[in-house]
Amino acid sequence: MENFAGQLINLFAALLLLIAFGMLSQRRILSLINLFALQGLVLSVSTLFVAYTSHQHHLYYSAGLTLLLKVIILPWILHRLIRKLNIKWDVETLFNIPTTMLVGIGLVVFAFNLAAPISLMAGTITKSSLGIAMACVLLSFLMMITRSKAIPQVIGFLAMENGLFFAATSATYGMPMVVELGIALDVLIGMFILGIFFFQIRETFDSLDLKHMEKLKED
């Protein structure tokens, strides 16, 4: 049973990594939001299965919170933002997609080497997926720094938080519930503030290119 549980958790981890690569290569803003919601769904189901297998009951609440926030609320807010801002452009990258993907593969190799000694010390059934969790964090960070528009960068930040949560689940069966609630509240409030910020940039410059943020700060 434990071997089967480990294999299923590794399957969820592989799906998260595949979605992270999909987000990294995605050029359509709507598809990027949908992939983020799908990543949240896989993360929620994975957390639910870990809770059942390990009998860590606080993870049931974590799975429900992830489903509510990452699959329903945040994608809904992002969809409303792009409708209100009338955003129809594709995602612009600082480098071409093949180059970005090659860098992403290098980051995955680095993440697995970095996580190997930590996995040996971990005592959880999810310890084998720690390398994938760290790879998801690094790929999300890469997505943030290679996007020239504000909203894809925000999605990259949210995806990185998904990877950090999965890493915490892999290494120690998650964070204390009060910490998760605090992070969820901070993320939700941050999204509302960023929404207002986006409208201000759009009104001032008729664009959400990040180079305008420096002009806005100077004004």
Q: What Cα–Cα distance (Å) separates residue 214 from each residue in 53, 65, 139, 163, 205? A: 49, 35, 26, 29, 12
Residue 112 CB coordination number (10 Å): 15
pLDDT tens-digit series, residues 95-131: 788 888 999 999 999 988 888 777 666 656 566 678 8
Domain range for 63: 2-218
Residue 105 CB coordination number (10 Å): 12
The answer to whether 22 and 34 are in contact (CB under 8 A) is: no
pLDDT at 13 over 70: yes
Query: What distance separates the 2 farthest-apart alpha carbons in the chain?
Result: 62
pLDDT band at 190 (very low <50, low <70, confident <90, very high): low
Query: Residue 209 gets which letter from DSSP?
Result: B
The answer to whether 87 and 151 are in contact (CB under 8 A) is: yes
pLDDT at 6 over 50: yes
pLDDT at 80 over 60: yes
Query: Residue 206 gets which letter from DSSP?
Result: S
Amino acid present at 152: P
pLDDT band at 216 (very low <50, low <70, confident <90, very high): very low
Burial class (CB in 10 A: 0-12, 13-18, 19+), 164: middle
pLDDT at 182 over 60: no
- Residues 36 and 188: their CA atoms lie apart, in Å, by 15
The answer to whether 128 and 6 are in contact (CB under 8 A) is: yes
The answer to whether 9 and 125 are in contact (CB under 8 A) is: yes
What was the pLDDT predicted at 41? Answer: 93
Q: Please compute the mean of the pLDDT values over residues 75-83 and round it to a whole number.
A: 84
Q: Please compute the mean of the pLDDT values over residues 6-29 and round it to a whole number.
A: 86
Q: Please compute the mean of the pLDDT values over residues 178-184 and round it to a whole number.
A: 56
Domain count, the chain: 1
The answer to whether 156 and 39 are in contact (CB under 8 A) is: no
Closest by alpha carbon to 190, among 102, 67, 78? 78
- Residues 27 and 46: their CA atoms lie apart, in Å, by 27
